[in-house]
Amino acid sequence: PGAVARNEALRASKYLGRAIWRRWSGYHRRSRVESRMNCIKLLGQSLMALDFDRQVVELQVRIAVLNGYTALGIPVTVPVE
């Protein structure tokens, strides 16, 4: 079943063209999610600090980094008059 789905995706990509296929299939969104998950994994799953106050600061820093990544991916829209 996996090979059949892959072959269909390749056929659609060739037929529609890569740019249209990416928009149609949601490929770009999946790619951004996978990239974000990789960033989260690079930050680590456990806390390094031993003191509670430092653990709080460590989590705040991680949140700030992730919010920075999120801000990079959000498009700025402007209404056209």
pLDDT tens track for 12-60? 888 888 888 777 777 777 777 787 777 777 777 787 888 999 989 988 8
Total domains in the chain come to: 2
Does the residue 80 lie in any domain? Answer: no
User: What residue numbers bound the domain in which 67 lies?
Assistant: 31-75
Residue 46 and residue 22 share a domain: no
Residue 39 and residue 69 share a domain: yes
- Spatial CA neighbour of 74 closest among 39, 30, 40, 29: 29
Predicted local confidence at residue 52, as pLDDT: 92
- Spatial CA neighbour of 24 closest among 37, 7, 9, 34: 9
pTM over 0.85: no
Residue 48 and residue 60 share a domain: yes
